[in-house]
Structure 1
């Protein structure tokens, strides 16, 4: 957790690397007194027009007094950010709090040579985030009418502007709380910038291989050879100070000697030489780096320091980094034809985009795709993923016309909330397949430097399901699904026709399909494939066409055993042609093939490169499982997700002030437990009501509390382990008068004495209902995680929880309450009355919004919540608050690392 900045305390966590509009990078940080000389240099390099626009008059130099005022800020009432490239200031943005403590005046100055790169909008986002943190809610600015660029920055930010013209100056005012429009604008700018940065890496106009080598088998030798053999369409340069000629081309000692501009540098030198090479690349104007060199974060603390220095050094020049320890990149578009990887040849062109992390996994994924004949659009191995991540590549794939489906193998996740947002958007147009292990997010592989999660393992899986991701566990499962979505149309429903030349096999496949959520409409086993080649071919085609043309059939699984009349290739050709004609997915499983040389798992194109393809499997069970995953994705895609649920009556600003007051004397990572009254007061600001209770010392206090709360009442111990245990004497129900209350108090104290617990509270009796529980935490990796289950053994012993990560759409909220296996008890199970599920959904929505908007709330637990036929009642609420760690998905653009 991070302390809030105080006056004069440098807020280091405000520093950020950012991606500019054109895909380059820059560093943003708070200004400091040491910047005086650099600020003066920035000022004197500006044109007279720019100076006049900023200061409303021309001043060739800033005075000593002005330099002190501009660089000596308190980071609270006066905040200033600078954006630097190569250590030089390229833009300055600042705010000064006005007489109204909730209002500040904002001003900007952008370098003449850097205008048009989106620096002003990035400065505004970060200033607004800092201002909100310091209790400011409104910005004002005075702008000369002719300063159209700055007026455009304000107008395009997505805020509601109020303008007025007075005395030759345009005055602008706007509320800086994030709005749906301002967040959409930020996400759109972020998307364009990050997509552009990856596009420039995957489709460079020129490449230099630094560390190219004559030695066969050396990394530099292979990379240069593969780029040339792959037919890269741009200029290629070899850089090696010890060689005059490499691969039949002139070699250069340093990148500065290369005669033409270099957009992408492939670095394959020992790690001790990398810093010098990065500096030389930055000085030469290189836009991006692929670092194949190992010896970084996977090599302990010293390697981690080298990795951080690599990224910091590259970004200071505006360069992005793939790696280190990257396997390389591939782009099969014939206009690029780039194989800057360790793979010996450019893969077949296709619609699948692949992203991997560590080099070893990258090799495995690449080999699996190649072995199955899957065509790729692009491939990126991020290695240690110090900079360019799966999130960046998804931004690129969303706009890439060559990519129709994407696959990612994730060993760790740096920014899951952003991943969820991007994956949900990308999944609306292209299938997103993610392979991850059971410990992804829980443990880090060597070389990965991100946070880990404390949330239940199922929370990450739930987040992916919300986003429409097709989640799998292994590389092979990723390829199983990929070969279907990259070659077949999506099924329009779950109805399946099982097609086989074996009745026994067809029955087995059908039995396997039902538990996967598929509906077996028919089993077709009446085709005689041993009736002679011509007759068998015609009969199979007629049967397939007839079944595929039926609207009741959405997909076909063809499970075939070897035939004497038709070869596997002929059968595959018929299946592929019929599928293409019908516009429905068909998958094939060829079982019983004894010839080990026959490749059974993969994408077959029986009619040649221009013909339709067929996904084939050696196991019918594997085929069914892969198709079922695609059916679930198609169902998610076809479902109306609704809007983000935002219940009314939620006092966000009042809650923020309430929490700030409670935390005013709290420092560091200390957590504060709110007493019942304070917790109820805080929750009520979001329309969450807790049934009141009262702790007492004497019997007379208990009677007085019961009179105040209303009879009948309940007695409960305050011991968290016993307060819900009627069987252990921790609860006594339906006490109707004072005499009965006194007797029950005495009996309860005797029963609880062996447990060492004597504190008791009294609470009004509420109508009976189904006991449920809600829990919400602030996780260091996932951010807010909200959980729901049915109280008691379901969650305590069986771990029967539903987990969700905000924001929740209407469909997410609907599924949230219905996901626990025990949720059947909410809908009239075994004759019990159904509960008010709408009220449970409303409570869940309010808790989700509360937790999403206030990360200072570290933990909330409602246990039990009694759900009755009309409404729900919260009988106990636990709330813990603390200084929130800065979320990586806040309303400002920033790169990790």
Structure 2
């Protein structure tokens, strides 16, 4: 039976040199290419692969590898263009949890990462099929394959048997493996971006002769920026455009360009991309808009087959201001200033606004990419480029969507420790996704999910573009504050009050200054001055005294930042660059100064950077709110940098296979998914050691009486809770009856629940009355885009009303868990409020770690809610819980593949 290759799903990924390969399972049609791979091998490589230089071995391997699929066997092939360049296989023999592997790569493509990439994907496939170890028999002198195994990042043990070595590879990805994959991905990704951002030649396809056309505007900008490489126009109806030679087609160019910019009608974009791939173009920027889904899919496929990275479609273009490149392949009006800020946006209009705002501030750009519809190149690619380009020290992002949030978060966490990452939290007012019935799902809004990502990754998220530029001005020009204490210095009392209020509103503090500093300032300032905080210098202050005042406050160590709010007077007519320079001259031998920001109330601009001498600048704002919010963002960044990165918490006593069995059994019974019943929830929670209240199930009135007799304490009552698939919110349905004592009350309660709920109640859950404590909520929601979100906050019946919850994306680090516990407003209740005893915080940390692990193990987990969780000094107890599963497959966020 035919098994055409077209029926197997392909995945595209990058090799170490940045070229693109396609990976898929082998099929019988591949036999000829696999045989050719072995026939073209040198005798030495054949010996390394088969332990003998036998061509017959290659024929037998091709027959085996390309046979129809069979249990316990998988073969992956790598293709570059139409050529098969590598093959990897595994096969189980006696132990279904262990498989033997083999690997072969074309002779001329060694040291490109083909084998390593095939192994990464083979590991992923094997783990999905329950395989825990790989074994490989290798000649002792086959140093190349030994190095491939060592570099993989997984734990490898070796058993020496004469001239051969048996390698045993444990398929348990840990931080070492993820770091190795990260490094390989970063190397490959950066190499693939070279023809895009550092091209030696560019062709503008669709460069028209008519003024006003997009292609002509791009060609004009490239010429005016003095692009350092060769520049071509492609136009079948002209010999030249803007005095630049024009050619009928990309295939007619004197040489394949590194980069082609497509500004052609939407209908011909896919066909043009195919031609570019055949011509050997390295990368594409497609500015054309209006492509439908089918055309975008064809465009992407053409780029994958041709090995081209793609920006767009529907974008403004790209730019790189490096002196050796000087590329402005955009149709923006102004060329970006050269500098050190990397900018990536999805919206072309936002890109223009950001470029103009940065130019107004005098902040130059290292590279600019308008991502458009993001069919390929994404913010992840740009973060990795800026991390390695040696120029960028500030990154500005405007993202409307996230392709792989977990990979983005992992990359951003690393990059944010080297440079500030700023973004606009766009889409806050969009309608939330359709939430399921639990409190946890209702609390997990898209805004909360995005903010969790930003908080964990160290990304500074602002509310508007203006606020983004406010913050960029401060982070570009000033050191980070050590904390949130601000001194406000003003030459007008009213301005000082406004600035102090703005600081308080932003979450900063304006503390009283030490008495010795107050006395020192009092001696400097006019007699009517107020030297507390805010410091009111009065309009009579002279510039030298004002400068001295700011300097002494900055040196005192009493505050972490100084905000100078000034109004123009006859005595301070030097307001502007001269005055700011006088106010911010650094001490030659003193400690590092805190940041100083200015608020000039007569300033028409929202923010600008004022020269302060010696190449330094100071941000000056037109209103105190802008300055205060920018300072607050700087404080948050400093706090994020100061905290330890943290490590993933692995709770003890987890039975992941048991949990998998519970999920599979439920979905076999309910293929469409739904809510687990109480017993199934108990079994799942038991697999993760989540502490539940003592309880028993009763199907009849007498069983409820008997259960209550067993569970009730000497003087305590019991609770009856109705149980049934439709009873998610039992309290709202009147399905919970509390503090029941004695047989008579139990029987009456059971009858009441039966009458009230009818067939919706399948049984009752009997629990002893929980001891008083703090009622909390802990839960998990799977977001379709972002993955698992762990929530924590105030629980009980007030959970929805007070909405006091925090969230972080799983898997949680110990730092994430600490932040989850301390972020909600109810946090003081946990640590001993007004003389109360602190609750078992370690128990809460353990609960969150177990929920995080459960979410990470089970992609089918749509929702899990523990509400209420009773927290007391002597422990925590999950009093009520509910779980919803859906038929979903997991997606390895760290597997290297292109969109």
Quote the residue 2:553 is aligned against. 547
**Equivalent residue for 1:307, pick from 269, 287, 296:** 296
Larger relative contact order (Cα-Cα within 8 Å, sequence gap ≥ 6) = 1
- Cα distance in 2 for partners of 1:752, 1:591 equals 70
User: Relative to 1, partners in 2 of residues 1:141 and 1:789: Cα closer, same or farther, differing over 3 Å?
Assistant: same
User: Does the 8 Å contact 1:672/1:881 carry over to 2?
Assistant: yes
SS in 1 for 2:802: coil
CA distance in 1, matches of 2:618, 2:70: 61
Aligned to 1:538: 544
Cα gap change, 1:309/1:47 in structure 2, threshold over 3 Å: closer, same or farther? farther
1:860 CA displacement: 1.8
Specify whether residues 345 and 459 from structure 1 end up closer, same or farther in structure 2 by C-alpha distance, changes over 3 A only: closer
- What is the match of residue 78 of structure 1? 73
- Partner Cα distance (1:275, 1:93) in 2: 32
Superposed displacement of residue 261, structure 1: 4.8
Deviation at 1:470, TM superposition (A): 0.7
Q: What displacement does 1:882 show? A: 4.2
Does 1:209 pair with 2:212? no
> Compared with structure 1, are the counterparts of its residues 194 and 722 closer, same or farther at alpha carbon in structure 2 (3 Å cutoff)?
closer
Kindly provide the CA deviation profile for residues 281-338 of structure 1, in whole angstroms up to 9, marking residues without a partner as x.
2223222111112222xxxxxx111111111111112110011122111222212222
User: Which of 633, 639, 662 in structure 1 is aligned with 2:637?
Assistant: 633
Query: 1:702-741 to 2 correspondence within 5 Å?
Result: 702-709=704-711, 711=713, 712-718=716-722, 725=731, 730-733=736-739, 735=741, 740-741=742-743
2:565 is matched with 559
**1:26, 1:317 within 8 Å by CA — same for their partners in 2?**
no
Equivalent position of 1:334 in the other structure: 323
Q: 1:362 aligns with which of 351, 357, 363?
A: 351
1:434-477 deviation per Cα after TM superposition (whole angstroms, max 9, x unaligned): 11323499789xxxxxxx99942212212211221111122212
Checking the alignment, whether the CA contact within 8 Å between 2:135 and 2:166 is kept in structure 1 is yes
SS of corresponding position for 2:510: strand
User: Where in structure 2 are the equivalents of 1:14-163 lying within 5 Å?
Assistant: 15-60=10-55, 67-74=62-69, 76-163=71-158
Q: 1:166 and 1:140 mapped to 2: Cα distance? A: 14
Cα distance between partner residues in 1 of 2:127 and 2:429: 34
- TM-score w.r.t. the length of structure 2 is 0.89
Cα distance in 2 between the residues matched to 1:284 and 1:579: 61
Which one of 790, 794, 807 corresponds to residue 811 of structure 2? 807
Q: Which residue of 2 aligns with 1:847?
A: 851
Out of 766, 769, 774, the position equivalent to 1:770 is: 774
Q: Residue 520 of structure 1: SS of its match in structure 2?
A: coil
Moved more, 724-733 or 641-650: 724-733
TM-fit CA distance, 1:494:
1.4
Q: Structure 1, residues 867-891: CA drift from partner, whole Å, max 9, x if none?
A: 12211112233233344333251x4
Deviation at 1:130, TM superposition (A): 0.7
Cα distance in 1 for residues equivalent to 2:846 and 2:870: 14
Distance apart, 1:682 and its partner CA: 2.7
2:779 aligned with 1:779 = no
Residue in 1 aligned with 2:524? none
> Distance in 2 between the 1:143 and 1:873 partners?
54
Q: 1:834 to 1:635 in 2, by over 3 A?
A: same
Moved more, 634-643 or 706-715: 706-715
Contact 2:712 2:718 survives alignment (8 Å): no
Q: Could you tell me whether the CA contact under 8 Å between 1:29 and 1:82 is conserved in 2?
A: yes
Contact 2:127 2:171 (C-alpha < 8 Å) held by counterparts: yes
Distance change in 2, residues 1:247/1:653 (3 Å): same
Where does residue 898 of structure 2 map in the other structure? 895
Q: Secondary structure at the match of 2:597?
A: strand
Report what 1:749 is aligned to. Answer: 751
Q: 1:75–1:424: structure 2 CA closer, same or farther, 3 Å change rule?
A: farther
Q: CA deviation at 1:478?
A: 1.2
Which whole-Å CA distance do the structure 1 matches of 2:8 and 2:644 have between them?
39
Mapped to 1, the partners of 2:402 and 2:70 lie a distance apart of 32
Secondary structure at the counterpart of residue 438 of structure 1: coil
| 1-structure distance, mates of 2:666, 2:754 | 34
Residue 587, structure 1, aligned to residue 593, structure 2: no
**For the Cα contact (< 8 Å) 2:789–2:809, is it kept in 1?**
yes
Deviation track 1:144-171 (CA, whole Å, cap 9, x = no partner) reads 2333222211111112212123253222
Q: What are the equivalent positions in structure 2 for 1:566-577 lying under 5 Å apart?
A: 566-575=574-583, 577=585
Compute the displacement of 1:276 (Å): 3.4
**Alpha-carbon contact 2:497-2:534 (below 8 Å) kept:** no
2:192 and 2:593 mapped to 1: Cα distance?
37
Unaligned ranges ≥5, structure 1: 1-7, 297-302, 445-451
Q: 1:24 to 1:440 in 2, by over 3 A?
A: farther
Structure 2 distance, partners of 1:776, 1:662, is 19
1:41 to partner: Cα distance? 3.9
**Deviation per residue, 1:467-513 (Å, 9 max, x gap):** 21111122212111111111211112212121222111012111220
Equivalent position of 1:501 in the other structure: 491
- For residues 353 and 560 of structure 1, the distance between their equivalents in structure 2, rounded to whole angstroms, comes to 33
Distance 1:295 1:443 in 2: 27
Cα root mean square deviation, aligned:
3.0
- Of 611, 622, 629, 2:626 maps to 622
Can you list the C-alpha shifts for 1:83-133, whole angstroms capped at 9, x where unaligned? 222132121111111211111111111122222221111111111111111
Shift of 1:349: 2.4
How far has the Cα of 1:11 moved from its partner? 12
Aligned-partner SS, 2:826? helix
8 Å CA contact 2:12, 2:898 repeated in 1: yes
How far apart, in 1, do the equivalents of 2:192 and 2:608 lie? 33
**CA positional deviation for 1:689:** 2.9
2:866 to 827, 839, 862: 862
Q: After superposition, where does 1:362-401 map in structure 2 within 5 Å? A: 362-401=351-390
Contact map agreement 1:333 1:349 (CA 8 A) in 2: yes
Give the deviation of 1:395 after TM superposition: 1.1
Q: Distance in 2 between matches of 1:798 and 1:177?
A: 42
Query: Does structure 1 retain, via aligned residues, the 8 Å contact 2:483–2:560?
Result: yes
* Distance of aligned partners of 1:322 and 1:105 in 2 relative to their CA distance in 1, 3 Å threshold: same
Q: CA deviation digits over 1:580-625, x for unaligned, max 9?
A: 99643222222134xxxx6452223365xx7212222222111111
- Any conservation in 2 of the 1:468–1:633 contact (CA below 8 Å)? yes
Q: Structure 2 residue aligned with 1:695, among 694, 697, 701?
A: 697
Contact 1:730–1:752 (CA<8 Å) still a contact in 2? no
1:18 positional shift: 0.8
Are the aligned partners of 2:310 and 2:377 in contact in 1 as well (CA < 8 Å)? yes
Among 834, 846, 863, the residue aligned to 2:838: 834
- Of 447, 456, 461, the residue aligned with 1:466 is 456
Q: What secondary structure does 1:274 align onto?
A: helix
Of 140, 153, 173 in structure 1, the residue corresponding to residue 168 of structure 2 is 173
The structure 2 residue matched to 1:322, chosen from 299, 311, 324, is: 311
Q: Gaps spanning 5+ residues in structure 2: where?
A: 434-440, 514-532
Q: Encode CA deviations 1:523-547: one digit per residue, 9 max, x unaligned.
A: 465546767xxxx443333222222
Aligned residue pairs total 859
**How far off is 1:766 after superposition?**
3.9
